[in-house]
Structure 1
Amino acid sequence: MVSPLTNVSAGIPSSKVKYSKLSSTDDGHINCQFKKSPTNIPYKATACASLQFLTGVFPIITGCLLLSGYISKVGANRAFPVLTVGILVFLPRFYHPIIAYRACGGCQGYSYRAFLDCDD
């Protein structure tokens, strides 16, 4: 059975715990809590997002050129599937290169925390 005069979390008897009053000028804040930690740039996530972005842009451009008849006269039979694949690859990651560019430039409201952590 634990005595009521024992600090349960540390197992120290209360007679050995020393307390001191805080200074009257202390407002409860520590200066180091307001310092920004250094930002770790997620290179793998940035490279993956940029690669997926470019992989989506290529079929979109190819599909538009097919649809307009600039590449060949196949028309919509091949253009719409190519456009669909390009849009499906492009849409999930089109904003990540923008976020990386703005975070690198130091724009307010943009940080690398928006990227998924790819480090294993």
Structure 2
Amino acid sequence: MMPFRTNLATGIPSSKVKYSRLSSTDNGYIDLQFKKSPPKIPYKAIALTTVLFLIGAFLIIIGSLLLAGYIIKAGADPAVPVLITSILVCLPGFYHLHIAYLASKGFRGYSYDDIPDFDD
């Protein structure tokens, strides 16, 4: 005598499971599988890019004031590292904020999937 197979998810023996044929008119598809789900908005990533953009913009202003000699009259020596750092911080923030803005407005080709999400 062979042992009964059981469905691991429900614990029901396979001999008691009832099967039914699919209707021949639906071709195996349902409308729900083609419906788009609403986009998941990565709030944490957008907040991080906003902070990066604001820090970068602040550092660009400080670097510009250093370069112009309004803060320290030392020339370009202290201004160059501040400006390089500010550009490296500001560009990714601006880029991802730009993508988030266009995705929120519904422009074609832009979605929230293009922004890295940190909720993993």
2:5 matches 1:6: yes
Gaps of 5+ in 2: none
Structure 1 ranges of 4+ moved more than 4 A: none
Equivalence map 1:25-64=2 (5 Å): 25-64=25-64
For residues 65-118 of structure 1, what are the alpha-carbon distances to aligned partners after superposition, in whole Å with 9 as ceiling and x for unaligned?
A: 543x36365322111121122123224423111011101110122222324235
1:6 and 1:116, CA in 2 relative to 1: closer, same or farther beyond 3 A?
Answer: closer
Q: What amino acid does structure 2 have at the position aligned with 1:117?
A: F
Provide the rounded CA distance (Å) in 2 between the counterparts of 1:78 and 1:50: 26
Q: Kindly, what percent of the aligned residue pairs are identical? A: 55
Question: Separation in 1 of the partners of 2:62 and 2:87?
Answer: 12
Q: Which amino acid aligns with 2:17?
A: V
For residues 101-112 of structure 1, what are the structure 2 equivalents within 5 Å? 101-112=101-112
Query: Are residues 77 and 15 of structure 1, via their aligned partners in 2, closer, same or farther at CA, if it must alter by over 3 Å?
Result: closer
Distance 1:14 1:78 in 2: 76
- The letter for the 2-side match of 1:96 is H
Change (3 A) 1:20 1:118: closer
The alignment of Structure 1 onto Structure 2 pairs a total of residues equal to: 117
CA separation of 1:78 and 1:29: change in aligned 2, threshold 3 A: same
User: What residue ranges of structure 1 are gaps of 5+ in the alignment?
Assistant: none
* CA RMSD in angstroms, aligned pairs only: 2.8
SS at match of 2:78: helix
Change (3 A) 1:37 1:80: same
Structure 2 residue identity aligned to 1:57: A
User: TM-score by structure 2 length?
Assistant: 0.73
Equivalence map 1:72-111=2 (5 Å): 73-111=73-111
